[in-house]
Structures are given as C-alpha cells and as structure tokens.
Structure 1
Amino acid sequence: MALLSTMPAAAGIAEREPPSAELWIFVIGIAALSWVMACRRWWLPLTVWLPAALFISGLVADFADPVIGPAVREELGLAYIFQADLAGALMLVVPLMFANIRFGRKE
C-alpha cells in the first residue's frame, strides 16, 4: 500500500492515449469512408463528422486538462501532441471537404 502512495497521480497517462499510428490509421479510414460515401450522396460524409468530432474533442480535452495535459507532454512529448492535433484537424476537415466537392458538382 505504501508503494501506491508514493507514485504520482498522473502515472501511466501514456497508456490511456491512442498511439499516433492509430490516429493516422483513423485519418486514412475516415478519408476513405468519406470518399466512398460522397460518391453515393453529397451529404453522407457529414454522418462521419459527428463521431469524429466527439472523439477529437475528448482527445483535446485531455490535453487541456490541468493534470493530464502536463503528464501527457512529459511522457509522450510535444511531437505526439502536434501529431494528435494535426490528425484530429484532418479527421474533421476531410469529411467536410468531400461533401463540399460533391455538393458543388452538377450531375
């Protein structure tokens, strides 16, 4: 029991965050899914946007937390936070981009 009291409260934060390779696989998956959906109907990629936005908001909320954020920076480094922010921005923009491309076309 004494061992638990000496460990910092934020120990093991890196295990809670998704690996950066997994984030990039999500970006590729969302882009492919959005492209396929946009080929069917222009508005279908918008259905991917809401779950992606909820996932990214949870990830960014961890970075903004006063306890978890510094622990993530210390354990994973600023490069991880940069990659997660970039992947998150792409996850949000790509479905909107494909919907906009298809919306503007006249068939």
Structure 2
Amino acid sequence: MAVRRILLVLTGWTLPAASALAAPIATGMAEREPPAPVLWLTLLTIAGLSLAMSCRRWWLPLMLWVPVAFAVSLIIAELADPVIGAAIREELGGFYVLQADLCAALAITVPLMFANMRFGRGDGAKNRSRLG
C-alpha cells in the first residue's frame, strides 16, 4: 500500500520534467521550447493524475501542484522575457504563446480544482447531517 503511494507521488513529481526532456537540444530559440502537442498532452496527464489522486485522498493533488507550478514558472519566465519572448513570438507565432499561456493556467488550476471538489464534498455532507 505504501509503495503505491510513493510511486504515485514520484510520478506526479517527475511529470513536469517529461516535457523538458522531450524537447530536442538545438541552437534555435524555438527548438528549446516544448511543442504545442507536448503542452496539451502534459496538461491532460496532469488532469488525469489529479483526478486519480483526488479520488484517493483530497490533498494528494496538492503534492502535484508544487512541481507543476515550478515548471510553469520556468515556461512563463521565458515567454515574458523581452528578448527571449520576442524571439519565440517571431519564430513560433502568437498562437503558440496563447496555447502555452492557456496550458500553463490550466495546469496550475486543475490540481487545485480537484482537491477543492473532493474536500468540499466531504465537508458539506458532515455539515448537512448536523443541521438536519
């Protein structure tokens, strides 16, 4: 039982590093950024892991949130930089920046949303039984 919990937590912590490892190493600015399908696939994986983790315990998605927030901050910092961000917008276009921002925002909020849904569900049932 404890081995499953450890594996689940380790999987959640290594997930944000997967997109960085999938990007090829090259000299161009655009080649250092993860492709848009990798961003969306990572977002879907984070959502799936958050759902599975929240079904186990309401606080487990919060453990996934910390590394995801760190990885998102690295991506957003590059896009917000005046020199690097301008080069990325020139090479990949504004639609890529929009997709990256949307995936980053959703990746930050999805684990919190699932944790809140599970926490609120258990809390509300207890409060209703006391009132009735």
After the TM superposition, list the runs of 4 or more consecutive aligned residues in structure 1 that deviate by more than 3 angstroms: none
| Matched positions, count | 97
2:67 corresponds to 1:23: no
TM-fit CA distance, 1:30: 0.3
Aligned residue number for residue 22 of structure 2:
none
Aligned residue number for residue 98 of structure 2:
82
1:43 equivalent among 59, 76, 98: 59
Q: Larger deviation: 77-86 or 61-70? A: 61-70
Aligned residue number for residue 56 of structure 1:
72
Aligned letter for 2:92?
Answer: L
- Give ranges in structure 2 of 5+ residues lacking alignment: 1-26, 126-132
Per chain length, whose mean CA-contact separation is higher, i.e. which structure has more relative contact order (CA < 8 Å, sep 6+)? 1
Percentage of identical aligned residues: 59
Aligned residue number for residue 49 of structure 2:
33
TM-score, scaled to structure 1: 0.87
Aligned residue number for residue 6 of structure 1:
none
Distance 1:61 1:20 in 2: 17
TM-fit CA distance, 1:44: 0.2
Give deviations 1:67-90, integer Å, cap 9, x for gaps.
101000000000000000000001
- Give ranges in structure 1 of 5+ residues lacking alignment: 1-10
TM-fit CA distance, 1:34: 0.3
Aligned letter for 1:31?
Answer: A
Distance 2:37 2:107 in 1: 14
Aligned-pair Cα RMSD in Å: 1.1
Aligned residue number for residue 7 of structure 1:
none
TM-score, scaled to structure 2: 0.71
More helix by share: 2
